[in-house]
Structure formats: structure tokens, C-alpha cells
Amino acid sequence: MPDTPDAPIAPVATDGHNATAVSTTAAHTHVGSLSSAISNAVVGLLRDYTGRGPTHARTTIGPDTIVVTLRNSLTKAERTLASHGQELEVLAMRRAFQNTMRHELIAAVERLTSRSVEAFLSDNLYEPDVAVEIFLLAPHVDGA
């Protein structure tokens, strides 16, 4: 099933689909609710740390991977610096924020998914103004 287009925050509208077939409406609704909750958590942390959250967020959930795509998250000051040749400094500052938020982002995803995060990767661009937060989940431990 293809993803639907991004939707503006306030209220946050997200989507996500399991890579495996979803056989019931209840399971599909759960994935959508989980996607929305993860987007809200990431956007909230960004807002708390930078004073401004992104205007678009989309969370896509796979069996062992969660990708949060954020658009239009740079502050006015960051956009001004980037437009005047300070792109590298803006990206370095964003990396510093991501490193500072790392533990809280991981904790939020682990709390919401009841899964351990094995690895967290993050990156930003200034043109276009887009960021991604990638959470690699530890494999399920079955009773077998």
C-alpha cells in the first residue's frame, strides 16, 4: 500500500504501514496511531530543544525500522545563516541538537513501540529543509 502525502503539523497527521501485509482494520489503525504518536514525540522534542518544530512530519514503520521524515524545521535564524553562506555551521548545530536529544528520542520510541532501539541515525539538509530520524529496532525475541 503506498504512503499518502505529508500533512501539516497542528494537528500532526502522519502515516505508516507495516512492510508485511496488514490483514485487519484494527491492525492498520494501530500502526497509524503508533506513527502519529512517534511523530508527535519527535516533533515535541525538537520544539522543546530548538524553540520551533517542523511543519510536516511523516513516520513510516517497517518490521525493524522506523523512519521519521521532518520538513521545514529550521528556525528563521538558521535559514538566515544558511542563506548567507553558513550552511555548514547550521548543519553542525543541528547535529549537536540531535546528539543532545538522542537519548530522549530513543526512549520515546522504545516506550511507544515496546521494542529496544538497536541504532539511531539522524541527518539534516538545509536545501531542501528536511531531516530524517531513523530508528533501527532490535530483532523480536520469540519464545522459540
Instruction: Count how many domains the chain has.
Output: 1
Q: Which one has a higher pLDDT value, 19 or 107?
A: 107
97 found inside a domain: yes
pLDDT recorded at residue 141: 74
Residues 112 and 44 sit within 8 Å (Cβ to Cβ): no
Q: pTM to 2 decimals?
A: 0.76
Residue 13 confidence (pLDDT) above 60: no
Q: Give the pLDDT band of residue 12 (cuts 50, 70, 90).
A: very low
Answer yes or no: are the C-beta atoms of 66 and 109 closer than 8 Å.
yes
Q: Is 42 left (phi over 0), alpha (psi -120 to 50) or beta?
A: alpha
> Residues near 113 by Cβ (< 8 Å), separated by ≥ 6?
34, 38, 66, 137
Asked if the structure places residue 18 within a domain, the reply is no
Residue 40 lies in a domain: yes
CATH number at residue 121: 3.30.980
Q: Is residue 12 part of a domain?
A: no
| Torsional sign, CA 96, 52, 104, 31 | negative
Mean pLDDT, range 45-59, rounded to an integer: 93
Decide if 108 is inside a domain: yes
Q: Looking at the domain assignment, is residue 59 inside a domain? A: yes
